[in-house]
Amino acid sequence: MTPAIPRLSSHLDETDVDGYLVDAAGDDSTQYYLSGYHAPDEFVTLYADGAVAVLVSPLEYTRAKTDSDADDVRNYAEFGYREKAARMDPRRAQKLVTVEFLADYGVESVAVPVSFPTGTADLLREHGVAVTADFDYVVADEVRAVKSDRELEHVRQTQQANEVALAEVEGLLERASVADGVLHLDGDVLTSERVRRRIERTLLEEDCAMDQCIVASGPSAARAHDSGSGPLEADVPIVVDVFPRHKETRYFGDVTRTFVKGEPTDQVEEWYDRTVEAYEAALDAIEAGVSGAAVNDAVCDVFEDAGYPTLRTHDSPEDGFFHSTGHGVGLDVHEAPYLAENAGDLEAGHVVTVEPGLYEQGTGGVRLEDLVVVTEDGYENLTDYPRDLRVV
Amino acid sequence: MTPAIPRLSSHLDETDVDGYLVDAAGDDSTQYYLSGYHAPDEFVTLYADGAVAVLVSPLEYTRAKTDSDADDVRNYAEFGYREKAARMDPRRAQKLVTVEFLADYGVESVAVPVSFPTGTADLLREHGVAVTADFDYVVADEVRAVKSDRELEHVRQTQQANEVALAEVEGLLERASVADGVLHLDGDVLTSERVRRRIERTLLEEDCAMDQCIVASGPSAARAHDSGSGPLEADVPIVVDVFPRHKETRYFGDVTRTFVKGEPTDQVEEWYDRTVEAYEAALDAIEAGVSGAAVNDAVCDVFEDAGYPTLRTHDSPEDGFFHSTGHGVGLDVHEAPYLAENAGDLEAGHVVTVEPGLYEQGTGGVRLEDLVVVTEDGYENLTDYPRDLRVV
pLDDT tens digits, B20-56 = 999 999 889 999 999 999 988 899 999 999 999 999 9
With an 8 Å Cβ cutoff, are A117 and B133 in contact? yes
101-140 in chain A: CB under 8 A from chain B: 112-122, 131, 133-135, 137
| Chain B partners within 8 Å of A341 (Cβ) | 82, 85-86, 90
Q: What percent of chain B has pLDDT over 70?
A: 99
The stretch B211-219 carries a mean pLDDT of 94
What's the pLDDT score for residue A279? 98
179-218 in chain A: CB under 8 A from chain B: 197, 200-201, 204, 209, 211-212
With an 8 Å Cβ cutoff, are B115 and A112 in contact? no
What's the pLDDT score for residue A335? 96
What's the pLDDT score for residue A355? 98
Question: Are A52 and A72 in contact, with CB atoms under 8 Å apart?
Answer: yes
pLDDT one-digit tens code per residue, A50-83? 999 999 998 888 889 999 999 999 999 899 998 9
| Chain A partners within 8 Å of B225 (Cβ) | 39-40, 59-60, 63
Q: Is B43 on the interface with A (CB under 8 A)?
A: no
Chain A residue with minimum CA distance to B200: A204
Question: Are B190 and B145 in contact, with CB atoms under 8 Å apart?
Answer: no
* Helix (H/G/I), strand (E/B), else coil: B11: helix
| Chain B partners within 8 Å of A119 (Cβ) | 113-116, 133-135
Q: Is pLDDT at B197 greater than 60 in this prediction? A: yes
Q: What share of chain B is helix, strand, coil (3-state, %, to 5)?
A: 40, 25, 35
Nearest to B224 among A60, A113, A118 (CB): A60
Nearest CA distance, B80 vs chain A (angstrom): 9
Question: Are A310 and A320 in contact, with CB atoms under 8 Å apart?
Answer: yes
What average pLDDT does the structure give for chain B? Answer: 95
Q: Is pLDDT at B3 greater than 80 in this prediction? A: no
What's the pLDDT score for residue A1? 52
Cα–Cα distance for residue pair A18/A105, rounded to 1 Å: 10
What's the pLDDT score for residue A41? 85
Which of A17, A316, A329 should we substitute to test contact with B (largest number of B Cβ atoms within 10 Å)?
A316
Q: Is pLDDT at B2 greater than 70 in this prediction? A: no
What's the pLDDT score for residue A2? 62
Stretches in chain A below the pLDDT threshold 70: 1-3
What's the pLDDT score for residue A62? 85
What's the pLDDT score for residue A145? 98
The stretch B161-173 carries a mean pLDDT of 98
ipTM over 0.85: yes
Q: What percent of chain B has pLDDT over 90?
A: 91
| Chain B partners within 8 Å of A342 (Cβ) | 85-86, 90
What's the pLDDT score for residue A40? 82
With an 8 Å Cβ cutoff, are B131 and A118 in contact? yes
Cα–Cα distance for residue pair B244/B160, rounded to 1 Å: 11
Based on C-alpha coordinates, what's the Rg of chain B? 24
CA distances from A31 to B272, B317, B361 (A): 37, 26, 27
Cα–Cα distance for residue pair B164/B255, rounded to 1 Å: 11
What's the pLDDT score for residue A53? 98
Q: Is pLDDT at B58 greater than 90 in this prediction? A: no
The stretch B126-137 carries a mean pLDDT of 97
What's the pLDDT score for residue B1? 52
Chain B residue with minimum CA distance to A206: B197
With an 8 Å Cβ cutoff, are B27 and A90 in contact? no
Cα–Cα distance for residue pair A273/B250, rounded to 1 Å: 39
Q: Which domains does chain B have, with CATH numbers?
A: 6-144 (3.40.350.10), 149-391 (3.90.230.10)
| Chain B partners within 8 Å of A137 (Cβ) | 89, 91
pLDDT one-digit tens code per residue, A203-243? 999 999 998 899 999 999 998 878 999 999 999 999 999 99
Based on C-alpha coordinates, what's the Rg of chain A? 24
| Chain B partners within 8 Å of A224 (Cβ) | 59-60, 62-63
Q: Is A148 on the interface with B (CB under 8 A)?
A: no
Question: Are A325 and A358 in contact, with CB atoms under 8 Å apart?
Answer: no
